[in-house]
A and B are shown apart, each in its own frame.
Chain A
Amino acid sequence: MKPITAFSTTLLAGAMALTGVVQAADLVIAGRDGGYGDALQAGVDAYEAAHPGTDIELLKLPYGSLYEKLVIGMREGDSSFDLVMIDDTWAPEFMSNNWLAALNEDAVSQDFIPSLTDISRYPVGQGPLYSLPVVGNVAMFAYRSDLMDEPQSWDDVFRSAQNLKTNDRAGVVFRGTQGNPIVTGFLPMLWAYGGHIVDKDGNIALNSPATVEAIEAFVSLRDVAPTGVEVYNSGEVRDAIQQGKAAMAIEVWPSWVPSMDDPAVSQVVGQVNIVPPPGQVNESTPMLGVWQMGVSTHAEHADLAEDFLAFFTSADFQRQLTLEKGLPPTRTSVYLDDDVVAQYRWYPNQLNALRQGTARPRVQDWQQLESILGDYLQLALLGRLSAEQAAEQAHERMVASR
């Protein structure tokens, strides 16, 4: 029996010796993981080096976890975070609930791309500034320039995909996972066909003939997509294009496209062109996916938070982050920088896309609308519903959800 007794003693001792000493940091930042986290970490390191004695804690979280944690913290009035990173689709909820403090307007340089600072305000483009854009993400379209010319319309996309599809290469790849993922790739297509989820007044407007056409076009892509696309998420899309398993990808993001030119992981170095998505009835309407940072209204270290944010979004540091970490900038001057363009050949296209970019609808229940559309879109993709049924039923469900 000795080992057991010894063990339980250890357990008890362990249980008693639990109080780890927590020292309060000068600034707590909650942000994303992955490449974004690396960039934030570089910012923290540089700021701490420039301001000796400052202790910054950086929390790096996956997408969903960050949202859950922030919303619950804000709802319960938790003051642990000073500076928070939010996706632009969360912005209406965060700003309208007064979870973010208005920033000092003097900090806003005209250098920021105007379409990006517009969605940092609430109401959009007019209200006070609640955040600064930190990642200039916009949904782009990728195609193999060694195989085809740039498609001019979504009809072109389908035709080229049919021609280029072989036994071990799909014509086109997209995110097919039900719920939110499938929608993101589809939205630029919906807009190109003239469809909308909500109209200018924020009312649901999905039951239009344009939507039906867009869904039909989207569903037709399944025949020229890889087997298994129904559970593809960005990771699989990225693998498919990088491994030469697909000729086009309808939705790629600047924050990760640099790896396509990295011979260590890509088999298509220099062979992929990154352009704004094609139009159809309407001109191309690139979709913004901007990460912003703002100061929590409950922040205990608001001044330091704002100072860090100014430093992190300064032209000099953004240029450095772009060159070293590949983080897509939000300032015009960085996009026009010679060294930057030399390293990322698609940046002129990206700047254009950002300037013309459209944000997803500024409604508070976007997460839910997106998810509803995603559920029906996938049912249509799998042939369980016709395009008309999907559009009609998704519309009704969205109306009922409000």
Chain B
Amino acid sequence: MTRLLRPLGVTLAVLFFTLPTLWMLGTAFKPAAEYIGTSLVFWPSQPTFSHFIQLFDEGVLRRLFNTLVVSIGTTAVSLSVGFISAYALVRYRFPARLDHAFLLLVLLIKTLPPIVVAIPLYRVLNALNLLDSHLGLMLSYQVYTLPFCIWMLLSFVRQIPIDLEEAASLEGAGLVQRLLRVVVPLAAPGLVATLIFAMLLAWNEFLFALLFIQTPSQFTLPLYIATFTTENQTFWGPLMAIGALSSLPVLLLAGYLQKHLLRGFAMSPQ
């Protein structure tokens, strides 16, 4: 029974998740004349590269680069800061349940709709002279990514048995050594998953990029993507082309990192 169920389940899941994606890819190569709503046909009879060429002519690479810089910066900060915070919350005893208070505060921040914080945050960045800069974006994205990373890493760090660390401690390893030699390797699958998610959040963020960046050449991809759906018309070809193109870097990253995800406990140092 299980032998039948697994292939069936996997097939269904793959179909559900990939059919719309396939349609997106097909549409990215579809000449405008062939696009009539959505026929059942996935692949155009006369595929064209014209949508991709249009994107490159319009300077998609510059925006791709901006997005890359901002998301890498954002992720680097969130992942490292979030990791040590999560570690502290799991491994140390706090007086008066301060750790719980901290976590609730973090949760509260994550719950706020970004629209509400946008205007005051604009003023904060303005005061710091960080409007219209990538550094300002990386900083403001911490509002999304840092709470996310803390909560995620918390549960991964908690899964790590303390014995190994205690052993290392007895051998004279200090805090930094324990973190780098014992905790980071054991938390690797969690760190990888968190990294992918944090990267994604920053990669696709729209609102803060719109409000905090003024110079067009500094814009990130999501804002460019938004220009393909106007209220009168959706430019399906270029929209799907940019959709596919902009997801590539994150997909490659995820593909590369999934090895770590799937290795699991095999990574633990013996």
Contact = CB atoms under 8 A, between A and B. Distances in A.
Contact of B231 (A22, A57, A78, A235): A235
Interface stretch (A59-67, A205-213, A354-362): A59-67
Contact of B216 (A57, A238, A239, A264): A57
Nearest to A14: B72
A28 interface: yes
B76 A8 contact: yes
A58 interface: yes
A141 to B, nearest CB: 16
Interface string A112-138: 000000000000000000000000000
B32 interface: yes
B72 A11 contact: yes
Given A11-B72, A15-B76, A34 B32 contact: no
Contact of B210 (A4, A12, A28, A69): A69
Interface in B175-229: 184-185, 188, 191-192, 210-211, 214-219, 223, 226-229
A243 B227 contact: no
A238 B185 contact: no
Contacts of B257: 7
B233 A15 contact: no
Interface in A240-255: 243, 253, 255
A235 B122 CA distance: 33
A4 B260 contact: yes
B174 interface: no
In this complex, the member of B68, B138, B215, B234 whose beta carbon has the largest number of chain A beta carbons within 10 angstroms is B215
Contacts of A256: 232-233
B260 A3 contact: yes
B216 A59 contact: yes
B218 to A, nearest CB: 7
A265 B134 contact: no
Contact of B227 (A62, A68, A233, A253): A62
A62 B211 contact: no
A28 B218 CA distance: 13
For the residues of B in contact with A, the DSSP-based class is helix
A151 interface: no
A110 interface: no
Contacts, number: 127
B262 to A, nearest CB: 14
Contact of A19 (B134, B192, B267): B134
In this complex, the member of A10, A15, A57, A238 whose beta carbon has the largest number of chain B beta carbons within 10 angstroms is A15
A49 interface: no
Nearest to A75: B119
A235 B184 contact: no
B32 A265 contact: yes
A61 B227 CA distance: 6
A20 B123 CA distance: 23
Nearest to A77: B126
A201 interface: no
A212 to B, nearest CB: 29
A37 B58 CA distance: 12
A78 B184 contact: no
A14 B232 contact: no
Contacts of A14: 68-69, 72-73, 76
Interface in A242-301: 243, 253, 255-256, 264-265
A243 to B, nearest CB: 7
Contacts of A238: 232-233
A235 B188 CA distance: 47
A255 B232 contact: yes
Contact of B211 (A22, A63, A69, A265): A69
A290 to B, nearest CB: 16
B108 interface: no
B214 A63 contact: no
A233 B231 CA distance: 7
Nearest to B210: A65
Contacts of B126: 76
Interface in B47-81: 66, 68-70, 72-73, 75-77, 79-80
15 contacts: A4-B188, A17-B69, A19-B134, A22-B132, A22-B215, A33-B226, A33-B227, A34-B230, A34-B233, A61-B223, A65-B210, A65-B223, A80-B215, A243-B37, A256-B232
Given A14-B76, A22-B217, 11 more contacts: A4-B260, A11-B76, A14-B73, A18-B69, A22-B132, A34-B227, A57-B215, A57-B217, A62-B226, A235-B229, A235-B230
